[in-house]
Amino acid sequence: MMLFRRLLWTAAVARGVFAAENSSVYDYDVLQYVDPLIGSSNGGNVFAGASVPYGMAKAVADTDSENNQGGFAFDGSKITGFSNMHDSGTGGSPSLGNFALFPYTKCNNDDLDGCVYPKKARKIGYDSNSVKATPGYFGLAMNSGVQVDMTASHHTSLFRFRFPTDNASSPLILLDLTDLSDSRQDNASVSVNATTGRMIGNARFLPSFGSGSYNLYFCADFRSSAKVRDSGIFVDSRASNEVQDLKISRSINGYPLPGGGFIRFHSPPDNTILARVGVSFISSEQACSSAESEIPGFDFNSTHSTAVKLWTEKLAPIRVSREGVNSSMLTNFYSGIYRTMISPQDYTGENPLWNSTEPYFDSFYCLWDSFRSQFPFLTIFDPSSVARMIRSLIDTQRHLGWLPDCRMSLCKGFTQGGSNADNILADAYLKGLSDGIDWDAGYRAVQKDSEEEPYDWSNEGRGGLVSWKKLNYIPVQDFDYQGFGTMTRSISRTLEYSYNEFVISQMALGLNKTSDFEKYRNRSGYWQNLWKADQTSFLNAVNTGFTGFFQPKYLNGTWGFQDPLMCSNIDNSGSICSLQNTAGETFESSIWEYQFFVPHDMTTLITLLGGPSQFVKRLDYLHDNNITYIGNEPAFLTVFQYHYAGRPAKSAQRSHFYIPRFFQTTPDGLPGNDDSGAMGSFVAMSMMGLFPNPGQNVYLIMPPFFESISITSPLTGRTATVRTENFDPTYQNISIQSATLNGEPYHKNWIDHDFFTEGKELVLVLGPNESQWGTNNEDLPPSVSSKAARSAELKGPGLS
Ligand SMILES: *[C@@H]1O[C@H](CO)[C@@H](O)[C@H](O)[C@H]1NC(C)=O
Ligand SMILES: *[C@@H]1O[C@H](CO)[C@@H](O)[C@H](O)[C@H]1NC(C)=O
Ligand SMILES: *[C@@H]1O[C@H](CO)[C@@H](O)[C@H](O)[C@H]1NC(C)=O
Ligand SMILES: *[C@@H]1O[C@H](CO)[C@@H](O)[C@H](O)[C@H]1NC(C)=O
Ligand SMILES: *[C@@H]1O[C@H](CO)[C@@H](O)[C@H](O)[C@H]1NC(C)=O
Ligand SMILES: *[C@@H]1O[C@H](CO)[C@@H](O)[C@H](O)[C@H]1NC(C)=O
Ligand SMILES: *[C@@H]1O[C@H](CO)[C@@H](O)[C@H](O)[C@H]1NC(C)=O
Ligand SMILES: *[C@@H]1O[C@H](CO)[C@@H](O)[C@H](O)[C@H]1NC(C)=O
Ligand SMILES: *[C@@H]1O[C@H](CO)[C@@H](O)[C@H](O)[C@H]1NC(C)=O
Ligand SMILES: *[C@@H]1O[C@H](CO)[C@@H](O)[C@H](O)[C@H]1NC(C)=O
Ligand SMILES: *[C@@H]1O[C@H](CO)[C@@H](O)[C@H](O)[C@H]1NC(C)=O
Ligand SMILES: *[C@@H]1O[C@H](CO)[C@@H](O)[C@H](O)[C@H]1NC(C)=O
């Protein structure tokens, strides 16, 4: 079944690519432009190692950096080991990083206790010039002279250790029952088979931004031209070859007591040892059988070439004209695309929590980040994977009661505001994804978010629903006795819940649930209840000149107060703005930024803010004064909201203001956590010149950063093209003068998803100055309260 689907899919893509208008322009190897090291330092927290698309096994060198959330931080920190599971770009504590291997050429004095076992004592530097990362491969040279290369299949890592020539070598490789954040719980175990050298075992760990715990199993096998000398276990700093089985406690002091297994070889003639590590959430047997079937012969090259092939296929749909463009732009673009397929991770067949024939994905970390452009982007060029992710989200709701908002390592992650899975489901629904998705179940799942309050809304759903339905806003210091969570963020929750209601109304509309549609559309207007028309804002005691901002409101209807700049990027007063129970009424950002988060009713918002020109002034003020920070996801849409005020040229200018200035192709080049590829999708979709308003069938049109771009829909095999005239690779000509769609004049400054599935051609004539194109009322994207939206509603979403 799987094989059959893959063949069909590849054929569809190949057809599309060859059907592209000018195949010679688009005929190049994209992987040369993927640099997995982008974002691997300075808090980007990107996973830089070896993985297949959405793979569960992720091999990399782990470091002792402050920023080791993704394992390897390319910042001169020391290597603590080479482990098998990772997340990418996350904040919070370091995620996963389980069962690290660590190699020695020999132990001091040829004594087992002459090797150093504890992670904190054994860590070591590496040659920074030796670091090499490409899709499906990572390698470096340790200061001990050991060259370590790694590649991966879906559930299995393959490590190659090449030891320096040393006539007294007797290489030892240890396997540590640890993880990156030292969260191991009681009773981890390892058993080493003295005959085969196989190590199996498991340990329970904690998720990095959520509740509960997870149990992970491993199966490690080793292959070398040398004979096994001995094997055994270690505890703390001592090892023995007379003991093969260990069950170890967490212990009470400091980080978990070091413990694990080791295997030692005689001197290998070729100085090489291969280690194959399978992982499973089900059992060691399953870890072993995955490893045996995925990498039967320990063949490094063929495992690597399979990974390269999978990445090449995934990246096949998107091609650009490279004419005149600085290659760093191509690297920025393709590396961003690549990072959108590291996570979520496909754990189908690895879910111990319930039995189901549905796919199971994990590492949705977090949907608050990824609904904004990562999911909409994948829906364009990898819709079959998105369909499987959505089936998994719906199946998770079926078995655990609620759609996740964040999920990692089989655990519930913390909610940040709204119920953002609603936005993801609606986005895919409106764009016609079907592919086995039970949309009735999907609708019931999103509706539950709106109607039922979970007991623990820190982990799922929404809080404050009694007030929401009675008062029509989330009050500051709410009285909420039905469910429990952190009683903060009343403004950002009100805004995000309003948007969730809107997207639910759009699904209801598509499913012909007319009264639901009206109910949720009505609720989608509740954001207006926190609008305080006479609120001012001062920056360094100087009036910003703008009046009217969102403000907190008590249960009794009296206004509270939060400085509109509190928690902004330029708030240096030490405000607490995350999930702390002392935090403010906006999450990780200010009222100034959240005031633009009304993605469904920009018409009403613009009116409240004083009309289009006042709106544009406010948006400029937000960006020009660094009130927003492009390194956090709420900033994404603000770059392009000029479109709604009839100024599409300013959206293009703004995106060039941020790219490449804030998105460089260096390890420290990202402005913040990549957040599972959220930043990657932002940079790629911005450069593509089509940015989504997520949860709506709307892409805002800008000139691409390339002369032309072609995207083949894997669903239909058709190729959509954006072609420009007067393209200037120094980006002086970034204003659209006129456009045609399939040869007909096109004035709207947005386009819908049919563009991709039907393979249309958009031609943009560019020039240096802002023009009249896309500026009239009828050219603007739909808003719930505008005429355009009403007629779109009558038509309903087209399920293609
Ligand atoms: C197609 O490719 C050829 C050869 O590279 C080039 O000369 C021509 O300009 C291209 N045409 C378009 C429309 O990009
Ligand atoms: C190993 O090399 C060292 C230094 O080159 C030499 O002194 C020693 O005799 C060699 N030992 C063996 C076993 O060949
Ligand atoms: C760990 O193992 C000990 C000894 O077998 C047992 O008493 C204890 O209940 C176990 N702890 C857990 C958390 O399973
Ligand atoms: C070690 O592996 C061999 C070969 O699979 C097996 O026959 C043997 O029973 C294993 N030993 C232990 C102690 O499990
Ligand atoms: C593996 O690939 C490398 C580089 O492509 C090549 O030099 C080497 O000979 C290959 N090794 C094997 C065992 O095929
Ligand atoms: C290409 O971009 C890089 C990185 O921004 C820059 O250092 C380099 O000067 C650019 N090259 C040219 C020819 O503009
Ligand atoms: C899933 O099915 C297997 C085999 O029937 C069973 O052993 C296991 O307990 C089931 N798991 C759950 C969570 O129900
Ligand atoms: C909704 O109603 C329209 C018009 O009656 C019909 O064409 C469409 O198939 C219906 N959609 C669903 C999902 O029932
Ligand atoms: C919307 O809700 C308000 C208050 O809950 C109510 O008065 C109004 O009639 C509703 N409108 C619609 C169209 O349902
Ligand atoms: C409303 O509640 C707030 C917070 O408890 C209180 O400060 C305020 O005085 C109340 N207003 C009225 C009119 O009772
Ligand atoms: C905004 O921040 C940039 C650096 O990121 C700085 O160059 C610029 O001067 C700042 N602008 C203002 C108005 O503070
Ligand atoms: C920019 O656009 C103008 C037309 O407005 C055109 O004359 C010029 O050649 C373009 N610049 C480049 C570098 O193509």
Per-residue pLDDT tens digits for 660-701? 999 999 999 999 999 999 999 999 999 999 999 999 999 999
For the chain, domains (ranges, CATH) are: 99-311 (2.70.98.10)
Regarding the beta carbon of 196 and ligand 4, being less than 6 Å apart is answered: yes
- Residues with CB under 6 Å of ligand 6 are 326, 328, 660
Task: Tell me whether residue 266 is exposed, middle or buried, using C-beta atoms within 10 angstroms of its C-beta: 0 to 12, 13 to 18, 19 or more.
Answer: middle
3-state secondary structure (DSSP) of residue 546: strand
Regarding the beta carbon of 625 and ligand 11, being less than 6 Å apart is answered: yes
> 3-state secondary structure string, 560-588?
CCCCCCCCCCCCCCCCCCCCCCCCCCCCC
CA 570 to ligand 11 centroid distance, Å:
10
How far is 341 from 362, CA to CA, in rounded Å?
13
Regarding the beta carbon of 312 and ligand 4, being less than 6 Å apart is answered: no
Looking at the CA of residue 624, tell me the nearest atom of ligand 11.
13
- Residues with CB under 6 Å of ligand 7 are 354-355
- Taking the whole predicted model, whether its pTM rises above 0.85 is answered as yes
Q: What is the pLDDT of residues 214-230, one digit of tens each?
A: 999 999 999 999 999 99
pLDDT above 70 as % of the chain: 95
Does position 438 have pLDDT exceeding 60, yes or no?
yes
- Residue 367 has a CB neighbour count (10 Å cut-off) of 28
**Residues 6+ away with beta carbon under 8 Å from 522:** none
**Residues 6+ away with beta carbon under 8 Å from 242:** 232
- Closest ligand (CA of 737): 12
* Nearest to 715, CA basis, from 5, 1, 189, 3: 5
**Residues 6+ away with beta carbon under 8 Å from 385:** 53, 54, 341, 346, 378
In this structure, the residue with its CA closest to atom 14 of ligand 4 is: 193
Does position 800 have pLDDT exceeding 50, yes or no?
no
Q: What is the pLDDT of residue 22?
A: 52
- The residue-averaged pLDDT of 51-70 equals 98
In this structure, the residue with its CA closest to atom 10 of ligand 8 is: 512
pLDDT above 90 as % of the chain: 94
Looking at the CA of residue 707, tell me the nearest atom of ligand 1.
14
In this structure, the residue with its CA closest to atom 5 of ligand 11 is: 626
Does position 130 have pLDDT exceeding 60, yes or no?
yes
- Residues with CB under 6 Å of ligand 1 are 22, 24-25
Q: What is the pLDDT of residues 590-644, one digit of tens each?
A: 999 999 999 999 999 999 999 999 999 999 999 999 999 999 999 999 999 999 9
pLDDT bin (cut points 50, 70, 90) of residue 279 is very high
- The residue-averaged pLDDT of 288-307 equals 98
Are residues 156 and 138 in contact, defined by beta-carbon separation less than 8 angstroms? no
CA 148 to ligand 5 centroid distance, Å:
15
Does position 147 have pLDDT exceeding 90, yes or no?
yes
Higher confidence at residue 254 or residue 202?
202
Mean per-residue pLDDT of the chain: 95
- Listed in order, strand segments (DSSP E) in 210-280 are 214-224, 228-235, 238-240, 245-248, 259-265, 272-280
CA 153 to ligand 12 centroid distance, Å:
48
- The residue-averaged pLDDT of 392-418 equals 98
- The residue-averaged pLDDT of 284-308 equals 98
Q: What is the pLDDT of residue 7?
A: 35
How far is 767 from 732, CA to CA, in rounded Å?
8
In this structure, the residue with its CA closest to atom 4 of ligand 7 is: 355
- Closest ligand (CA of 770): 12
Does position 530 have pLDDT exceeding 70, yes or no?
yes
At residue 251, φ and ψ (nearest 5 deg) are 75, 165
Q: What is the pLDDT of residue 767?
A: 98
DSSP class of residue 27 equals: -
3-state secondary structure (DSSP) of residue 100: coil
Q: What is the pLDDT of residue 25?
A: 86
Are residues 293 and 178 in contact, defined by beta-carbon separation less than 8 angstroms? no
Q: What is the pLDDT of residue 11?
A: 42
Are residues 714 and 13 in contact, defined by beta-carbon separation less than 8 angstroms? yes
Are residues 590 and 564 in contact, defined by beta-carbon separation less than 8 angstroms? yes
**1-10, 243-252, 411-420, 428-437, range with the lowest pLDDT:** 1-10
CA 426 to ligand 8 centroid distance, Å:
17
Are residues 756 and 720 in contact, defined by beta-carbon separation less than 8 angstroms? yes
Regarding the beta carbon of 558 and ligand 10, being less than 6 Å apart is answered: yes
How far is 579 from 540, CA to CA, in rounded Å?
27
Higher confidence at residue 9 or residue 144?
144
- The residue-averaged pLDDT of 562-580 equals 96
Q: What is the pLDDT of residue 613?
A: 98
pLDDT bin (cut points 50, 70, 90) of residue 182 is very high
Q: What is the pLDDT of residues 459-518, one digit of tens each?
A: 999 999 999 999 999 999 999 999 999 999 999 999 999 999 999 999 999 999 999 999
CA 591 to ligand 10 centroid distance, Å:
22
CA 556 to ligand 10 centroid distance, Å:
6
Looking at the CA of residue 556, tell me the nearest atom of ligand 10.
1
